[in-house]
Amino acid sequence: MKSIVILSGKGGVGKSSITASLAVAFSKDKKIVCADCDVDASNLSLLFSLPTDKYEEWKPLSTNQIAIVNKKKCISCGKCIDACYFKALKFKENIPKVNEFGCEGCGACELICPVNAITLQNIDNAYIGYAKTNYNFSIASAQLLPGNSGSGKIVSEVRKKANKISKNAEYLIIDSAAGIGCPVIASITGNDYAIIVTEPTPSGFSDMKKALEIVNHFKIKTGLIINKFDLNKKYTNKIKLFAKKNNLKIIKKISFDKTFVKAMVNMVPIIDFDKTYEPIFEEIKQRIITNINKLNS
């Protein structure tokens, strides 16, 4: 199975809209599976009118641990508080109290405690599952529970889930989160191809460069989609020039079109909402396939 990840650095440039329509284009003659790796705010399936109550499976997941202090055993020596690099432990009435938002579950406190008063306990920090779309493919996704941490590990679990439900799929298409931090890094490692989506604005351009630094670090072959390219021709030219200098292939430029919002509001991928987008995404798909095949020959 070949895997393709879509990222952007900046949020709201059209990552999920483009992922959804690209997936539909691929599914026309290929077996595919999708992974929504934006686990902070998981919503790729919403573009297919699939809220979580329509999922085939949706159940709690634990990828995190948290320190639990046994008050009876604790001798109030404070060693755990000094050892916690994340400042998640503080004395409260002479007993260390764990701040659940700060605790990384690293276990340093457990190791340093001289009386074994601290143990690590698994906590449910997300929901994970999958949904079947009307287009003959499924989407694996997860949602981080409010106030929890560990998005990176949850992303890895979503990718595992996608593999599990893939049933001989030829392509895995991954929608990553905004930013360049831990969940994004977990989304892009080990993929065959990456697509960076950008828009011709100062922020879009700056964030695209950051996204490129990461995919280059992991040595992943990458293509660029400039969304809303006609919004600002000057910046589009800047992006083009940058792409040329950095040997980054531009796969497609897409016009600014309010139909994208209409399709989103109707919870239908734009490729199906407005048929003029069919050839556009077909072209993007063919270019991606050609680029991936070039890698292998």
The residue ranges that bind another protein (CB under 8 A) are: 9-13, 16, 38, 40-41, 43, 46-47, 65, 83, 85-86, 101, 104-108, 111-112, 143-144, 146-147, 149, 151-152, 177-185, 199-203, 206-207, 210, 213-214, 217, 231-232, 234-235, 258, 261, 264-265, 267
Q: Which is nearer to another protein, 176 or 291 (CB)?
A: 176
Q: Which is nearer to another protein, 9 or 129 (CB)?
A: 9
Q: Which is nearer to another protein, 2 or 14 (CB)?
A: 14
Helix axes 202-217, 233-245, angle to 10 degrees: 20
Question: Residue 285 CB, nearest distance to another protein (Å)?
Answer: 23
**Three-state DSSP class for residue 23:** helix
Instruction: Round to whole Å and give the CA distance between 9 and 197.
Output: 9
Place of tokens 């390219």: 229
Question: Residue 247 CB, nearest distance to another protein (Å)?
Answer: 18
Instruction: Round to whole Å and give the CA distance between 217 and 51.
Output: 35
Question: Residue 171 CB, nearest distance to another protein (Å)?
Answer: 24
Question: Residue 11 CB, nearest distance to another protein (Å)?
Answer: 1
Nearest one of 211, 158, 186 to 13, comparing CA atoms = 211
CB atoms within 10 A of CB 242: 16
Question: Residue 264 CB, nearest distance to another protein (Å)?
Answer: 5
Nearest one of 92, 98, 24 to 282, comparing CA atoms = 24
